[in-house]
Structure 1
Amino acid sequence: MRTSTSIARAALALTVLVLSAVCSFPGASCTKVSYDDRALVIDGERRIILSGSIHYPRSTPEMWPDLIQKAKDGGLNTIETYVFWNGHEPRPREYNFAGNYDIIRFFSEVQKAGMYAILRIGPYICGEWNYGGLPAWLRDIPDMQFRLHNQPFEREMETFTKLIVNKMKDANMFAGQGGPIILAQIENEYGNIQSGLPDQQSATKYIHWCAEMANNQNVGVPWIMCQQSNDLPPNVLETCNGFYCHNFKPKENMPKIWTENWTGWFKAWDKPDYHRPAEDLAYSVAMFFQNRGSVQNYYMYHGGTNFGRTTGGPYITTSYDYDAPLDEYGNIRQPKYGHLKQLHAMLTSMEKHLVYGQQNETSFDDKVKATKYTLDDGSSACFISNSHDNEDLNVTFEGSTYQVPAWSVSVLPDCKTVAYNTAKVKTQTSVMVKKESAVTQGLKWFWLPELLKPFCTDRSGSFRRNELLEQIVTGADKSDYLWYKTSLTSGAEEEFTLYVNTTGHELYAFVNGELAGYQHSVNGPYIFQFQAPVTMRAGKNYISLLSATVGLKNYGASFELMPAGIVGGPVKLVRPDSSAIDLSHSTWTYETGLYGESIQIHLDKPNLEWSCHPAVPVNRPFSWYKALFHTPDGEDAVVVDLAGLNKGVVYVNGRNLGRYWPSYIAGNMDGCHRCDYRGAYKTWDNQEKCLTGCHEIGQQFYHVPRSFLNAGGLNTIVLFEEAGGDPTKVNFRTVVVGSVCINAEKGDAITLACANGGTISSIDVTSFGVAKGQCGAYEGGYESKPAMEVLSAACLGKESCTVHYTDELDSAGSEGSSVLTVQATC
C-alpha cells in the first residue's frame, strides 16, 4: 500500500519532469522550481522559504554583502526585493543600472551567499516610493491611464518588464539557469484598489493582461500576484500581505505564500516611531507555519534609507528604518533579530514535517489549538497556540500539560518538549546610541545665497501659459520645486491680501523680490489656502510663487491623478473691502527647479565663490552651506545630526542623502504611552501602540554610508537650507551599542555581545524581580552579588560572553522571582 507521502512525492516527480524543459541552459547547474498545495518544490523537494526584504536602492553596494550575510546568519534562506522602475529609467529609454541601482550585482551577492531570491518586478511597487515606482514621465504620453487596460501604459510596462527579465536572463539569474531567483512577481496589491478604479471592465482586462504578459516571458519560475484573491488570472499564484496572514486561504492547489509580513511601519515627519514587538512578530510567523504556511517574507528585513528624492507618501521621512531586524544602518536590532533567529532554527529543523507531514488539529476553544505534523516514519512536530490577548493558559495535550502565555505559540519539534515560545525572549536587547565624533566638532562653514533674482521677475522661464498648471506634469518631477511667475501693473501703491489656493505641499510667495510668506500643508489632504499681506507699488509688480513637493503619492486607486502645485488656483489679490483681482488666468511663466540645482552646487565645483566670512548667516532661508570634515574612525555607522536646521537637502561628497526636516516635531499619539505585545498590532484605526518619539524631532539623524566617505581624508558636506536654520549646530556621530540587557530563567544561557570591536566595560544590573524601567534604565529588584561576580569575571573586556544560569547565580532573597535581569555597558 502506498502512503500519502510517497504518492505526493511521485506526483511532484511528474510535475518536475513536465517542467524540466525550462531548465535547458547548456552548462548551467539548473534548479527546477514548481509548486503544489503544500509548498514550493525545488529540485523535486518541498521547501519552506524564510525570506527577507532588502531593497538595493535603499542601501549601497558596499553594504549588500554584509546585509545579506546577516540575513543568512539570522536563519533566512531567501532575499526579496522590488524593482524600482523610476530609478532605472528616470527618462524615457535612458537607463540607470549603476551604483545602488546595479540590480545584477545585488542578485549576484545573493547568489554568492548561497541564498534564493524573489524578484518583485511590479513594476508598480507602492513601497513608500515616489509614484509607487512608476516614472512621472509616463504622464506626458497621450491617452495614458495608469494600471488600466490601455495601449500606452501596457506598452511601457511590458517594455520595462522585458528589459528587467532579459537582464536577469543575460546574467543567468533565474533558477533554471543556475541562478538564485525562484519566484517572480507582476503588479502589486492590485486587488486592494481594483474596486475603486473608474472602469471595472478595463481593470479586469488589465490584470489578466499582466498575467499573460508575464507568463510569456518564459522565466521558468512561478509568477505571483499580491492581494489578488477576487480576480486572480490563471497561471499565477496569489499571495498575502499584512501583519498577520495565518488565516489566508489561497486558491486550490496553491501553496500558502506571505509576501509581506510587516516588521514595523514606515514613519512620516509628523509621526512618532513605530515599533512592532519581537514577541508579536514571532507569534505571527509561528501561527503562519502552524497553519500550513510555507513561504514567508519579512517586509522589511532591512529598511534602509530613502536617498535623494525617492520617498513617496508624501511626507514620509528620509529614514526607512521600518523597525526591521536590521536597522537603517545595517546594525543588528536586538532582541528582534535574535528572537526570530531562534524561531527560524526551529522551523528549519521541522521542515520535512511541515511540508510532508499529515496535519492534525486539536481545538481547545476558538483561540487555542494544537497542531501536529506527522511523517510516515512516525516522527512528529507540534505547535500549541494561545490567541487570547490577556489570558495565560495551561494546555493539556497528548497527556502532558504546557503553560502557554497569552498571544503566543509554543513550538515542540518532537511534540514533547517546548523548545521555543514566541512570548519568551531569550536573546539580549541592545540599546543603540549616537556617539558624537571628535573629528567633526567645530566645523568651519562657508555659504552661498540661492540666486532668487531671476525668478522674481516674469522675464525668463521655460514657457508661458494663461492658466495655472499642475506641478508634477509641468515639471516632470525633475525637482521638488516649480516656479509660477506673473506680473501686474498698479496705478498707485495699494495694500492687498495675497490669496493662493494650492494642492501643496509647500508654498513660498515673493512679491517684487521680497519673501511675503511661507506655508506648508498638513500631512493629509495637502490642500490649503495661503494668505499673506502684500503691498503693490505703483507701476509694474512681480509675483513669484514657489511650489514644492515632499514626495509624491504612491498608493490608492488613480493615485497618479492626485494633483500637486497651484493647479487651477485661484490666485487673487484681495483688497480690504473684499474686492479682488483674480490672477488665475494671467500670463504665468514657468520654471522648474532652483538655480543652485541647475549649476549643481552640491558638487562643490572649483568655480564656486563660497563666502568664508566668519559670521556665517543663520536662520536665513534659501541658503547653501558647505563645510569640510574628517571621516570618523572605526567601522561603526556614521550619521549627521541636523537638529539645528529647518528644512532642506543634505549632500556628502556630492551624494544626496535625502531631504531633511528636523524642525518638524512629531505629534503626540496614544501609542507613545502604552505598549503590550499581546493583541493584534495595527497602525491605523487609532490602534497604534508601542510608539516612541512623541513631541520629539521627526528625524534628527541622517545616514552617511561609509562608502560615501573618503577613508583617511577630508569630506565635504553641502546643505541647501530652504526655510532657514543654523548650520553651526551640525555635527557627525557614530551609531554604537550602548547598554545590552537580557532576562534569563534557570537553565538559560546568558549571552551578551557588543559590536564592531566594542567590549563590555561594566556589568550594571544583576537583579531579580526588576520593578520597572527598560534596558539602560532599570529600577528596583533584588541584586544578586554572586551573579555580578560571575558575569564580571566572564565578560569584562570582552566583545561577547556566555554564562549559564545555574544555582550558582542565585542569591538569598531572590526566591520571589525566577527571572534574572542582567544589564551591561559596551
Structure 2
Amino acid sequence: MELSKSSLVVLILTSICYVVQSTEVSYDGRALKIDGQHRVIISGSIHYPRSTPQMWPDLIQKSKAGGLNAIETYVFWNGHEPRQREYNFEGNYDLIRFIKEIQNAGLYAILRIGPYACAEWNYGGIPAWLRKIPGMQFRTNNQQWKDEMQNFTTLIVDMVRREKLLAPQGGPIILTQIENEYGNIMGPYGEEGNQYVKWCASFAQSLEVGVPWIMCQQDNAPQPMINTCNGYYCDQFKPNNPNSPKMWTENWSGWFKAWDKPDPHRAAEDLAFSVARFFQLKGSLVNYYMYHGGTNFGRTTGGPYITTTYDYDAPLDEYGNKRQPKWGHLKELHAAIYMMEQALIHGDVKDVELSKGVWATKYIANGITPGCFISNTNENSDATVDFEGAKYFVPAWSVSILPDCKQEVHNTAKVNVQTSIMVKKPNTAENEPNDLKWSWRPETLRHSLKGLGGSFTDYTLLEQITTTLDESDYLWYMTSVDTKQYVGITQEHEVTLRVNSTGHILYAFVNGHLIGSEYAPNGNFTFMFERKVMIEPGENKISLLSATVGLKTYGSFFEQMPAGIVGGPVQLIGDDFTIDLSKNEWSYKIGLDGEKKKLYLDNPEDKWYDEKLPTKRPFTWYKTKFQAPLGLDPVVIDLLGMGKGAAWVNGNSLGRYWTSYLSSTNGGCRDYCEYRGNYQSQKCQTGCGEPSQRWYHVPRSFLKAGEPNTLILFEEAGGDPSKINFQTVSVGTICATIDQGKTVSLSCQNGQSISKIDITRFGEPEGSCGRFEKSGCDSNEAYFAISNACVGKESCSIQNSENLLGGCKSNSLTSKKLVVQATC
C-alpha cells in the first residue's frame, strides 16, 4: 500500500516528535545518565494517598523550590486493589494524575512499585484478601504470591506505559523499584528467599520499562538490578557491582510517630550533614524519606499503632507548610551541590586528611572547575584547618562545601535561614466550641450482646485478620454457657473472666453489660484480660469485641503474626472450677452496625437524637455542623477530651483518633536537640506525657465554603465532644540569626504578611526563637531599617551589614551576628 504525501509528512513529524520527547536513561558506576549526560539526582518522597489531589501541585512546587529535581513514591497495592480484581485509582489513589503533576512541574519521578511497601502502611501495602488464597505465603518463592504480585505489578506498568509516563516515552519516570528492603529480612526464608530475589529481577526485566530497576537494601541483587541503601547515613555504602552508581533511596528525615511514643525530631544540621557526606564519598542520588509525610487518612494507611499523623519531621510538614529551618537549610545545601555537579559526576577524587577526623575531598576533571568538601566527623571538636593556602573553620559534625575549592558557600552546621514557629488559631468563621450543636446515636449493640446477628459459627476461636480480611477493625466473638449444666451453679456467683488476646484492644460484655476493656501497651500485641464478673445460674451470654489498630507491616513471615482472640483460651474461673470456653460454639460478626449502615455519610433517613447529649459513653456516634474556617491556612480539628475512635468530615475519613492515649516519658523529652553525633529516633523528642495526637488534619478540599459542613465521630472508648473545635495552622513567630555580610529571607505563608518586628539584636543569641533571652545589643537602626523593608510584606530579605550596627558599633561585642525576630 502506497502512503500519500500528507500521510508520510504526518508519520515523519510524529517520529520526530517522539524522538524529541523521548528520554534515554542509563547508568554507569558514577551516576545515572539522562540522555547520555551524568546527573546528580536529589529526590523527595511524597505518598499520594497521604495527601489529596488538590494538595499535590503545591507540595510538588514547594519540593521543586526546595531544590529537588525528582519526586519518589511507593505504589500502594491494598489501596488500589482492596478486593481481588476490584481496582481503585480515584481520588487520592489517582496514581496517574499524581505522576502527571510531577511531570507538569518539570521534575523526574521514581516509582517504587514493590508492590510490598512497608512505609508504616497497613500490612505493608499488601491486601489482606491474599490470606484467603490456599497455599499463599507472602514474599518468597511461592507460586500463589508470585502470580498475584505479577498481576498487580504488570497492571501498574501497563498503566504508566499506556499514559506514556516512562522516560523513553517522554514521561518523567526515570527509575522503577521491584520488592523493598527484602535483604533485611530474607535470612529466615533460606534458599527460597534467594530464588525469590532472582525471580523478582527476572520478572522486572521482562516488563521492559526502558529505565533501570532498583532493589533497596538488597546486597545480593542480581544484575542489572541496582542495589541501593536506606538509613540515616549511607556515606559508607558501596553498591554490589562497580558498574552500579551509589544511590540512597531513603534518607530518613525524621521518624514516624506511634500512639505510645513522643514526637521524634531530626535536626536540620544533621540531615544536611548526612547528605553532604554522601556526596563527598561519591554518592549520586539521594532521596529524602519523607519530604512530605502527610496523613494516614482512613484505616488502611497506618500500620500497627501508628498515629494518624505521618508528619515524619519532614521538610514539608503534615499540612504542607515549609518546616523551617529544615526546608530552607536543605535548599541551600542542594544549591551548593548543584554548583559542583559536573565535578562530582566526572572528576577524579583526591582525599586528604587535614587533622584527626577532618578530611578534604577534591573532585578534579579536565575542563571542569574542581569542587571540594571539607568534613569534620568529630562529635565535639571544632576545627580550623589549612587547605590549599586558605584557612577554614569547620564545626564538629559538619561538612563545608566549596564548589570552586576556594570559597565556602555552605556549611551543614551553619544555619543561615529563618526558623518558623507554627501556631494554631481559632476558627474565625464562628465561635467554637459554643456554636457547635451536637446530636448523637448509640452504636447498636443489643443483637451482638445477645449473641445474635453473626454471619457464621465455628467451634474454634478464629484469627481476626483471616476472618475479617481487614474489612473492619472490629470482630465480634459471641458465645453462651449454661453454668448450671457445667458446674451446677444454682445462684449468682462471682468468677474471673480470663481472655488471652493478641489484641490490639478488647471489650468484654457478659449478659449485656460491659465489664471492662484493655489495650496492648507499648506495641506488645499479646495481653491477658482478666475481670471479676457475676454469672447467673443457667445461660450466660458472653460477647467479646476485638479491635485492631493497623496491621503488622514489617519482618519475616509478618503475615503470620496473629490478631484477635485466636485460640484463646477464654475461661471462667471460680474458686474451685474452671470453665474453658475455647471450644465452645462461637458466633462471628464482622464490623459495627454503624459501619454497615454508613452512618458517617450522614444519610437523611438516619435517626439522630438532639436531647441529653451523653458524654464518657462508649460506643456512641456524634454529629455536628460547622462553618469552614476562613482563609487559606490548613485546617485541623482539636479532639482533646475524646477517647478513641474515628472521624469523618462530609463523608471523608480523617482517620483514627486516640486522644486519650498519652505518650510515654521513656527516653525523656528536651527543648534542645543536639545535632552532633549519630542520630536515632529517641535522641530528640518532644511531647512526653501529652496526648499522642490531639490535632487532626482536615484538608481544605474536604470542606464546603459558605455552607454547613458535617463532622461525624464514632467514639469507641468514651469521650466528651463539648470541647471540640476547628483551628487553622499558620506561621506565628519567625526568627533568623544572620552572620556578618550574609543575607537571609524572612517569609510568612499562605498570603500572610509580616505584622511587626519584635527583636533586632547584635550578639551571640541565647535561648531559641520565641524565647530569646535579653543579651547582646539592641540596634534601633536595624529595627527601623528591617521594619521598613519587611512589615506589611509576605517576604523580605535582610543583609547583615555594618550600617545596621548603629549604636552597637561601640559596644564590646563578641560577635556581629544579627538576631531578628518577627511576627506574621
TM range (shorter): over 0.9
Alignment of 1:647 onto 2:644: yes
In structure 1, runs of 5+ residues without a counterpart are 1-22
Q: Which position in structure 2 is the counterpart of 1:370?
A: 360
1:441-465 deviation per Cα after TM superposition (whole angstroms, max 9, x unaligned): 1200000000000111223211101
Deviations 1:38-76 (A, max 9, x none): 000110100000100000000000000110111111111
- Counterpart amino acid of 1:711? A
Distance in 1 (CA, whole Å) between partners of 2:349 and 2:609 is: 74
2:597 corresponds to which residue?
599
> 1:797-816, aligned counterparts within 5 Å?
797-810=792-805, 811=808, 812-813=810-811, 815-816=813-814
How far 1:379 sits from its partner (Å)? Answer: 2.1
Partner of 1:583: 581
The aligned counterpart of 2:456 is 463
What residue in structure 1 maps to residue 117 of structure 2?
Answer: 125
State how far apart, in whole Å, the 1-side matches of 2:22 and 2:787 are.
53
Q: For 2:475, which of 465, 479, 482 is the aligned residue? A: 482
Could you tell me which residue of structure 2 aligns to residue 101 of structure 1?
93
Q: Distance in 1 between matches of 2:633 and 2:386?
A: 49
> How far 1:27 moved relative to its partner?
6.8
Corresponding residue of 2:408: 418
Report the Cα offset of residue 807 of structure 1: 1.1
SS in 2 for 1:649: strand
CA shift digits 1:714-762 (9 cap, x unpaired) = 1000000000000111000000100000001110113211111111122
Shift of 1:771: 5.6
Q: Which runs of 5+ in 2 are unaligned?
A: 1-14, 485-489
1:497-540 CA-partner distances (Å, limit 9, x unpaired): 10000000000001111101000011233100001111112332
CA distance 1:578–1:233, change in 2 (3 Å): farther
- In structure 2, the partner of 1:738 is 732
User: Greater CA deviation, 23-32 or 262-271?
Assistant: 23-32
Equivalence for 2:42:
50
Q: What SS class does the counterpart of residue 333 from structure 2 fall into?
A: helix
Separation in structure 2 between the aligned mates of residue 435 and residue 92 of structure 1, nearest angstrom: 45
| One-letter amino acid of the structure 1 residue matched with residue 130 of structure 2 | L
Tell me the equivalent position of 1:720: 714
Q: Which amino acid aligns with 2:744?
A: I
Contact 1:123 1:133 in 2 (8 A): yes
- For the residues of structure 1 that align with 2:279 and 2:458, how far apart are their CA atoms? 60
The ranges of structure 1 where at least 4 consecutive aligned residues each deviate by more than 6 angstroms after the TM superposition are: none
Aligned partner letter, 2:695: F
Matching residue of 2:225: 236
Task: Give the Cα separation in 2 of the matches to 1:822 and 1:29.
Answer: 48
Q: Do the aligned partners of residues 35 and 619 (structure 1) sit closer, same or farther apart at CA in structure 2, a change above 3 Å counting?
A: same
For residues 281 and 379 of structure 2, the distance between their equivalents in structure 1, rounded to whole angstroms, comes to 19
Structure 1 CA distance for aligned equivalents of residues 287 and 113 of structure 2: 16
For 1:478 and 1:523, locate their aligned partners in 2 and report how far apart those are by CA, in whole Å: 25
Q: Quick check: 1:306–1:658 contact (8 Å CA) kept in 2?
A: yes
Q: In 1, Cα distance between the equivalents of 2:717 and 2:812? A: 58
Between the aligned partners of 1:813 and 1:550, the Cα distance in structure 2 is 60
By how many angstroms is 1:801 displaced? 1.5
What letter corresponds to residue 146 of structure 1 in structure 2? Answer: F
Partner of 2:142: 150
How many residue pairs get aligned? The number is: 795
SS in 1 for 2:646: strand
Contact 2:428 2:630 in 1 (8 A): no
1:629 to 626, 630, 644: 626
CA contact (8 A) 1:28 1:177 kept: no
- Asked if structure 1 preserves the Cα contact closer than 8 Å seen for 2:764 and 2:815, the reply is no
**Counterpart Cα distance in 2 of 1:28 and 1:579:** 83
> How far, CA to CA, are the matches of 1:349 and 1:383 in structure 2?
13
Structure 1 residue aligned with 2:465: 472
Please give the alpha-carbon distance, in whole angstroms, between the structure 1 residues aligned to 2:261 and 2:180. Answer: 26
Q: Deviations over 1:105-127 (max 9, x none)?
A: 00000111111000000111100
Query: Offset of 1:660 from its aligned partner?
Result: 0.2
- Tell me, in whole angstroms, the C-alpha distance in 2 between the residues paired with 1:546 and 1:772: 54
Summarize the Cα distance change of 1:457–1:814 in structure 2 as closer, same or farther, 3 Å threshold. farther
Once the two structures are superposed, the pairs formed by residues 601-616 of structure 1 within 5 Å of their partners are: 601-613=599-611, 615-616=612-613
- State how 1:435-450 maps to structure 2 within 5 Å: 435-440=425-430, 441=432, 442=434, 443-450=436-443
Amino acid at match of 1:48: V
Partner of 1:790: 785
1:163 aligns to 2:155 (yes or no): yes
Contact map agreement 1:709 1:715 (CA 8 A) in 2: yes
Counterpart-to-counterpart distance in 2, 1:28 and 1:100:
32
Deviations 1:591-615 (A, max 9, x none): 10000000000000011111011x3
Aligned positions of 1:13-162 closer than 5 A: 29-162=21-154
Shift of 1:768: 3.1
> How big is the shift at 1:671?
4.8
Provide, for residues 770-801 of structure 1, a one-character-per-residue CA deviation record: whole Å limited to 9, x for no partner. 56432112112122232222222222222112
TM value normalised by structure 2: 0.95
Q: Which amino acid aligns with 1:626?
A: K
For 1:789, give the aligned amino acid. F
Separation in 2 of the partners of 1:638 and 1:387?
A: 42
> Which residue matches 2:664?
667
* Mapped pair 1:773 → 2:802: no
Task: State the partner residue of 1:4.
Answer: none
Instruction: Answer whether contact 1:33 1:220 (CA < 8 A) is retained.
Output: yes
TM-score, structure 1 as length reference: 0.95
Aligned 8 A contact 1:25 1:177 in 2: no
Is 1:312–1:554's contact at 8 Å kept on the other side of the alignment?
Answer: no
Q: Structure 1 residue 183 and structure 2 residue 183: aligned? A: no
Q: Structure 1: how far apart are the matches of 2:523 and 2:145?
A: 28
CA contact (8 A) 1:466 1:587 kept: yes
Change (3 A) 1:257 1:41: same
Find the counterpart in structure 2 of residue 524 from structure 1.
Answer: 523
- Cα distance in 1 for partners of 2:232, 2:390 equals 32
Alignment match, 1:295: 285
After TM superposition, the structure 1 stretch with the greater mean CA deviation from structure 2, 314-323 or 517-526, is 517-526
**Aligned equivalents of 1:344, 1:329: Cα separation in 2:** 23
Distance in structure 1 (CA, Å) of the matches to 2:47 and 2:613:
39
| 1:28 shift after superposition | 6.9
Letter in 1 for 2:196: Y
- Separation (CA, whole Å) in 2 of partners of 1:574 and 1:550: 29
Residue 258 of structure 2 corresponds to 268
